[in-house]
Amino acid sequence: MRRVRAARGLRPRPGTTNALLVKTNAIETVPPGRLYGRRRARPLRPGQRQLQLELLPRLTIRLPHEGRLDPRTLFPMPVDAVWLEIGFGAGEHLAEQAEAHPHVGFIGCEVFEDGIVRLLSEVARRGLGNLRLFTDDARLLLAALPPASLGRVFILFPDPWPKRRHHKRRLVAPATLDLLSAAMEDGAELRLATDDRDYLAWMLEHTIAHPDFVWLARRPADWRERPEDWPATRYEAKARAAGRTPAFLRFMRRPRR
């Protein structure tokens, strides 16, 4: 019942949050650093290979052997905030956001080589100096960030891993939400998107159950319609072409006490 209620945009009844939290904390998850899925689809073209060899090393984030990584030091100019996108796909959303917010520092996490080089092409074409890349498991990066260092986080159309035995591979899970909660500033926004109905229910169930996040939706249009400041992606277009309806979820990191 809780999944059905969540998928319809309803909040859990008073008194159910603790029960949900006990349930979700028991979810089995894949250890940080272990990733599944392809990292490469096809050989790179010469121009892509050149970007990979010349531009990627200048943008790549390397984690410190000890201590924390201050994300504001990654950029050549002072930034007002740091925003993170996990699994940026082909990078069109990340590039649009970085161009629209030149005073914000952006970090993109992706391991798929084709997506990385597509984003590199956009960085070069648009002259984006406020974007850095982490090409490994995003959870490793989150664990290295100082508390309250991210102003916004995007996880858009992650792999739903539909088979039950693969649910432990889902990115939006209690363990990841704990890492996000620690790294996000008070009042920071977490944006999630999916076109998979089961994953939508899963996202709502686990994120609503987390004590540090509050769902910002007040009416159905708040999650059925993409906000104007949320650039479209090819994954959204592909979903709509296949007859699937995407959902756009916005959560706020509660103020720390």
**Reading across the β-sheet that carries 247-253, which strands appear in turn?**
131-134, 104-109, 81-86, 150-156, 184-194, 247-253, 213-215
Question: What pLDDT was estimated at residue 130?
Answer: 98
Distance separating alpha carbons of residues 173 and 175, to the nearest angstrom: 6
Q: Convert the pLDDT of each residue in 185-208 to its tens digit.
A: 999 999 999 999 999 999 999 999
Distance CA 153, CA 81 (A): 11
Helix 46-54 to helix 113-126 angle (10° resolution) is: 80
Does residue 159 contact residue 167 with C-beta atoms inside 8 Å?
Answer: no
CA angle centred on 218, ends 217 and 221, rounded to 5°? 75
Structure confidence at residue 18 (pLDDT): 33
> Quick check: is 70 catalytic?
no
Q: Cα–Cα distance between 36 and 28 in angstroms, integer?
A: 15
The radius of gyration of the chain from alpha carbons, rounded to an integer in Å, stands at: 18
Note the pLDDT tens digit of each residue in 96-148: 999 999 999 999 999 989 999 999 999 999 999 999 999 999 999 999 999 99
Q: Can you give the pTM of this predicted structure?
A: 0.84
Residue 173, φ and ψ in degrees, nearest 5: -150, 165
User: Torsion-angle region of residue 74: left (phi > 0), alpha (psi -120 to 50) or beta?
Assistant: alpha
Q: Which amino acid is at 58?
A: R
- Selecting among 70, 80, 137, 159, the annotated active-site residue is 159
Residue 242 has a pLDDT of 95
- Cβ partners under 8 Å of residue 113, min gap 6: 39, 40, 41, 44, 52
Answer yes or no: are the C-beta atoms of 177 and 211 closer than 8 Å: no
Which segments in the chain show pLDDT lower than 50? 1-25
Unique residue bearing structure tokens 């080089």: 117
- Which residues have CB under 8 Å from 3's CB, separation 6+? 201, 202, 204, 205
34: tokens are 């272990």
Note whether 55 and 47 are within 8 A (CB).
Answer: no
Distance, in Å, from the CA atom of 131 to the CA atom of 150, rounded to the nearest integer, reads 14
- The third-level CATH classification (topology) of the domain covering 2-29+59-253 is Rossmann fold (3.40.50)
